[in-house]
């Protein structure tokens, strides 16, 4: 029995995402620079963002709230209202960025769909992820869309149950070891790590060692050949 369900991450697996966050990060640093004598803006925002994940979850809206909080931590009472307005504008621009597919994604999804049902499993803000999926033009290729607050082994077990497949016949492919690969393996599925050129440090983790259901691949298209070999 082969793979019956292919789960795919969205951000930085199907389309560019981290480069837009990087540009917003740079805009934040520029806005708070006049009040950042200690040069701690970047590390402060990193810490605030991680701290707020349990409160706000993932995504551009959470990042915008964290930018405002970090700016106030850096500048305190000296931070003017127009600086906060600029941060909000940067957040809106992040929410409105165009969806840019990674090379060869449409052809790869078509090839994968010839082999098994496709389900999108992505985390983040519901409205923003739905908007990006609609703008991508990829939605009709998926038999299911799962937008979750976080990805854990239990998350994947629930996905497999909803789509009526056992874990040993499911495969997850994505760019994040922490969110896509390790929890899918823990749930009993196969997992293909396709690293992105601009990884978020929070999503990094140690690769599994000699795991029979794990592969590290250079391109999502290589998942097709791996599935055919199983």
Using the 3D structure, point to which of 95, 113, 143 is the last residue of a domain.
Answer: 95
Label residue 46 by pLDDT band (50, 70, 90). very high
Residues 216, 110 share a domain: yes
Identify the CATH number of the domain in which residue 56 sits. 1.10.150.240
Residues 217, 157 share a domain: yes
pLDDT digit string, tens, across residues 87-128: 999 999 999 999 999 999 999 999 999 999 999 999 988 999
Rounded CA-CA distance 68/215 in Å is 39
Residues 38, 125 share a domain: no
Structure tokens at 192: 């293909």
Residues 188, 149 share a domain: yes
Residues 63, 37 share a domain: yes
Query: How many structural domains are present in the chain?
Result: 2
Label residue 1 by pLDDT band (50, 70, 90). low
Cα 214 to chain centroid distance, Å, stands at 19
The confidence score (pLDDT) of residue 105 equals 97
Using the 3D structure, point to which of 95, 128, 143 is the last residue of a domain.
Answer: 95
Closest to 122 measured CA to CA, from 214, 4, 11, 203? 11
Rounded CA-CA distance 1/212 in Å is 16
Closest to 171 measured CA to CA, from 106, 107, 222, 124? 222
**How large is the C-alpha radius of gyration of the chain?**
19
Residues 68, 155 share a domain: no
Residues 143, 53 share a domain: no
Arithmetic mean of pLDDT, 74-86: 91
The parent domain of residue 69 ranges over 18-95
Q: Which residues, in sequence order, are CB contacts of 12 under 8 Å at separation 6+?
A: 18, 102, 175, 176, 196, 198, 199
Residues 191, 105 share a domain: yes
């Amino acid at each position: 029995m082969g793979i019956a369900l292919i789960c795919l991450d969205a951000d930085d697996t199907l389309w560019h995402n981290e480069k837009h966050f990087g540009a917003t990060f740079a805009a934040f640093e520029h806005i708070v620079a006049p009040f950042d004598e200690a040069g701690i803006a970047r590390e402060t925002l990193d810490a605030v963002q991680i701290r707020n994940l349990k409160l706000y979850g993932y995504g551009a809206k959470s990042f915008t709230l964290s930018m405002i909080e970090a700016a106030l931590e850096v500048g305190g009472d000296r931070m003017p209202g127009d600086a906060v307005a600029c941060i909000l504008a940067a957040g809106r621009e992040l929410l409105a960025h165009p969806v840019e597919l990674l090379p060869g994604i449409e052809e790869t999804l078509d090839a994968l769909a010839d082999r098994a049902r496709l389900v999108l499993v992505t985390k983040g803000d519901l409205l923003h992820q739905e908007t990006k999926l609609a703008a991508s033009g990829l939605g009709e290729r998926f038999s299911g869309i799962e937008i979750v607050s976080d990805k854990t082994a239990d998350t994947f077990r629930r996905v497999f149950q909803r789509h009526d497949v056992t874990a040993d016949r499911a495969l997850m492919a994505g760019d994040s070891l922490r969110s896509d690969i390790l929890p899918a393996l823990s749930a009993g599925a196969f997992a293909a790590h396709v690293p992105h050129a601009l990884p978020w440090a929070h999503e990094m983790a140690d690769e599994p060692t000699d795991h029979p259901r794990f592969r590290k691949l250079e391109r999502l298209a290589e998942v097709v050949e791996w599935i055919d070999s199983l």
